[in-house]
Structure 1
Amino acid sequence: MKDHPIIVGLDIGTTKITTVIGEVAEGGSVDIIGEGSVLSEGMKRGSVVNLERATHAIRQSVQAAERVSGVKVERVFVSVAGNHAKAITSHGLAAIRRNQEINQPDVDRAIENARAVPLDPNLEIIHTLPQEYVVDGQEGIKSPVGMHGVRLEVDVHIVAGTAGPLLNLRRCVQEAGLQVDGFVLHALASGLATLEAVEQMQTVIVVDMGGGTTDVGVFKRGNLAHSACIPIGGEHVTADLAQILKIPLEEAENVKKRYGAALPELADQDLTLEITTASGSTHAISAFELSRIIKPRLAEIFSLIRDEIDHTLGPVELVAQGVVLTGGAAQLRGVAELARDRFRLPVRVGKPRGIGGLTDIVSGPGQAASVGLVLYGIGQDGKVPHSVFRHDPQAEKVPGLIEVTAPVVTAPPPSTPAPKAARADGEGLMDRVRNWFKDWM
């Protein structure tokens, strides 16, 4: 195991902290050999609010991954999310001497000139991500090294974070006995883990729906070209349910995951829940009514994303060819369908792909960012390693189809209180979903 490089991703979110240990094998393929997830503490909307509690949670997550892998973790790539991350696109120029080929120092000079933009002194640059190059007016060049020309231009996507939150995050990691190999924008990591081969040639919007925030990345031909953060996430849906149903947050989260849907028409029309409020009184609510509480908040998130892109890049339908949803909140039934209605684009739920090892543990949308941190660590250039697509069965899959997940209502574990469910027809909803999907196709 020591013969192969070990790369560790530490995804520090509002609701959970996940450590993923990856081993790079020969040929560049990646095997996940360790994973540890714990409930997040001391974090709010991507920022540290309690150093001691956040450090404790990080240490627990890392130790859990170490026990699975048998590897001692010393260095990690850390995700950065939240409103303190800012992004701009800057233009750089470098003159090339006549009759000389463009070399790597010329490329570096163009990128460095693009970085020379006035930034708030309170900002720390996290990423400098080159887009496509232009040589003597010729656009669409991926790598200009070896070409001839006298004028080299490049657009660079610069991501910077507020120094204070980054320092707090670094201190928590260091207090847990680790060194920070680098900070990685959350949306970038999610895109690296979920974008498929065909999508690498398109413009695709990646939406990572976390607990406290929703991170957005617009990828153009495999490059992160725009990023933003919406300060609303799955926790806000849970809070809405807790407030309206008058139940504790923990029970509201359980109700949301087990019986909720983003679209009322996809809720089980024959399912009724018996809710016990904090005061001890009980009342019944149908799954249809439950989904009517959930839908407005999710619709608000998608509307804010659309407004952000419309304002910055232009109408969504003209900018992008598709949308990829990922993150824990993307697992709620009907989210992809609601997003399709709001964006008027093909939508799918993205999951980590192109990896080996403990794929059953890190295969869900909620692990996309942590797996993406490992993939980023291979090249540290903000691009998906080519080795990821070599044996990826999804590489030939045509993107754009909505994934419709069959609803499953299971009994909660004995230790977890949950509302009672009564159903009249176990197959009714599945028949309606199948008919709806046939009509949509």
Structure 2
Amino acid sequence: MNKKNYTCGIDIGSSFTKVVVLGYEKGGKDLTLLASSYVETRGVRLGYITNVDHVAGTVKKAISSVENVLGFKIKNAYISIEGINLSSVVSIGSSIISKADQEITELDVHKAIDNSEENLDTPNKKIIHTIPLSYKIDGKDIFGHPESMKGIKLEVRTLFITCLKQNVEDIITVFGLLNINILDIIASPIASSNILLSTKQKTAGCALLDIGCETVSLTVFEENSPIYLITFPFGSMDITKDIALGFKISLEEADSIKHGNVIGADYSKKKIDEIIEARLVDIFELVNNHLKKLKRNELLPAGIIITGGGALINKIEEIAKRELKLPASVGTVDQQTNNKLKIKDSSWYTAYGLALSSKENFDNQNIYNSLGVDVKQVKGFFKSIFSQLLP
């Protein structure tokens, strides 16, 4: 296989780090799974890197496993980012049309988007993605792109997905130490949506609810773009803890019960269901409150799609439908895609979504990366350090 003919996604979760490498077999035309691995994550808490060296060791171990299968070194990868401060904010910017004939150019659009960024007040945050949501020309709403239209003043309403600055810098440091080129840093829910959500769903209006080990993220889509993202500081591990406390058992046994794998013991099914449902109801109540703020409660035609390790909990669809009064389903990919990519379960969707990421995917959703310059600068820093260490 051509060593350049692959794409790698690395999902650093609070519980596990997963690596997926996709590519084309010799003579093959379809993208397929070439190698995958996962290891327990060390040095991450609530989505944040707490120990750079431990995370670097974790990623190195996971990467080494796929490199042994592939027979060559991984040099480039798409990386996920998450954390309880991963969220979105909307800002409005404007620009005066520069051409004498008042025709709007791409430069005018970028000036308006830049102005919306200048109007932000997000201390200690780093912009991960920039997404123009809507435009006005001379105060009037327009549909589609404003380029080639005419006017005096262009306004743009822009969504910015941001994360704690330190977390972004720590991720770049980790991969600088490993000498792996970061092709892009992508918010985990955006990566998952690459493989889980269709254009039809994202255009009609839907929500992606990712229930991870220590965090839960809610991302709302409309007109084929994300319009809202927020992360909550709890996850499926809290259900495990509730069960452990309720039955006075170990976390390992509680986790097995949570997923319906009760072995060697006889526990009250009614009590188990009550404990699990109580926590899920709390999660869905919080989700509904945020949908109300957006004025989208009970108004998402494509419903809510649930993913992450917590999506494997029994009856979660039923509880979501009842509490949110929306269509609800556990996220799945079509059978043809699954046969090619061999996806193990929903906890792998982010890693696969990362490996499927490309400039074309983001262009289709009007999503712009905001970290390119930072990544290049840090790569340059590590190169200069390494060169000083050479004899």
- Structure-1-length-normalised TM-score: 0.74
Report if aligned partners of 1:98, 1:150 keep a CA contact under 8 Å in 2.
no
Going from structure 1 to structure 2, the CA distance change for 1:142 and 1:369 (only over 3 Å counts) comes to farther
**Contact 2:225–2:365, Cα closer than 8 Å, also in 1:** no
Q: Is the 8 A contact 1:32 1:355 kept in 2?
A: no
Is the counterpart of residue 371 in structure 1 residue 331 in structure 2?
no
Aligned partners of 2:33 and 2:341 also within 8 Å: no
Q: Given that residues 32 and 358 in structure 1 are in contact (C-alpha distance below 8 angstroms), is that contact kept between their aligned partners in structure 2?
A: no
Within 5 Å, give how 1:14-413 maps onto structure 2: 14-23=14-23, 30-96=31-97, 97=99, 99-136=101-138, 139=141, 141-259=143-261, 274-275=264-265, 284-311=266-293, 313-318=294-299, 321-352=302-333, 359=340, 361-362=342-343, 364-379=345-360, 381=362, 383=364
8 Å CA contact retained: 1:352, 1:365: no
Separation (CA, whole Å) in 1 of partners of 2:274 and 2:156: 47
* Change in 2 beyond 3 A, CA 1:232/1:328: same
1:19 is aligned with what amino acid?
A: V
Q: Structure 1 residue 91: deviation in Å?
A: 1.4
Q: CA RMSD of the aligned region, Å?
A: 2.9
Secondary structure at 2:74 match in 1:
coil
Cα offset, 1:30, TM superposition: 4.5
The Cα shift of 1:71 comes to 4.5
Whole-angstrom distance in 2 between the partners of 1:121 and 1:197:
34
| Structure 1 residues 140 and 296: alpha-carbon distance in aligned structure 2, compared to 1, 3 A threshold | farther
Structure 1: segments with no counterpart, 5+ residues:
261-272, 276-283, 386-441
Q: CA deviation at 1:178?
A: 2.1
- Post-superposition offset of 1:320: 5.8
The aligned amino acid for 1:192 is N
Residue of structure 2 equivalent to 1:426: none
Native 8 Å contact 1:17 1:39 kept in 2? yes
Cα distance, 1:103–1:67 mapped onto 2, change above 3 Å = farther
How much has 1:157 moved relative to structure 2? 0.8
Aligned pair in 2 of structure 1 residues 186, 322: CA closer, same or farther (>3 Å)?
Answer: same
Q: CA deviation at 1:340?
A: 0.8
- Cα deviation digits, residues 374-432 of structure 1 (max 9, x gap): 333343737469xxxxxxxxxxxxxxxxxxxxxxxxxxxxxxxxxxxxxxxxxxxxxxx
- Quick one: distance in 2 between partners of 1:380 and 1:116? 27
**8 Å Cα contact 1:30-1:356 kept in structure 2:** no
SS class of match (2:267): strand
Whether the aligned pair in 2 keeps the contact of 1:34 and 1:358 (CA below 8 Å) is: no
Amino acid at match of 1:33: L
Structure 1 pair 178–68 and aligned structure 2 pair: CA distance change class (3 A): same
CA contact (8 A) 2:14 2:41 kept: yes
Given the two structures, how large is their TM-score scaled by the length of structure 2?
0.83
Q: Is the 8 A contact 1:32 1:356 kept in 2?
A: no
Give ranges in structure 2 of 5+ residues lacking alignment.
367-391
**Aligned-partner Cα distance in 2 for 1:126–1:47:** 15
Distance 2:134 2:345 in 1: 32
Query: Residues 163, 197 of structure 1: CA spacing in aligned structure 2 closer, same or farther, 3 A cutoff?
Result: closer
Q: State the partner residue of 2:369.
A: none
**CA distance in 2: counterparts of 1:140 and 1:30, whole angstroms:** 38
Instruction: Give the structure with the larger helix fraction.
Output: 2
Q: Is the 8 A contact 1:9 1:77 kept in 2?
A: yes
Distance 1:3 1:36, change over 3 A: closer
Distance across 1 between alignment mates of 2:114 and 2:174: 31
Q: CA, structure 1 residues 382+210, in 2 after alignment: closer, same or farther (shift >3 Å)?
A: farther
Shift of 1:196: 1.6
State whether residues 85 and 231 of structure 2, in contact with CA within 8 Å, keep that contact through their aligned partners in structure 1: no
Letter in 1 for 2:59: I
CA distance in 1, matches of 2:33, 2:133: 29
Q: Secondary structure at the match of 2:299?
A: helix
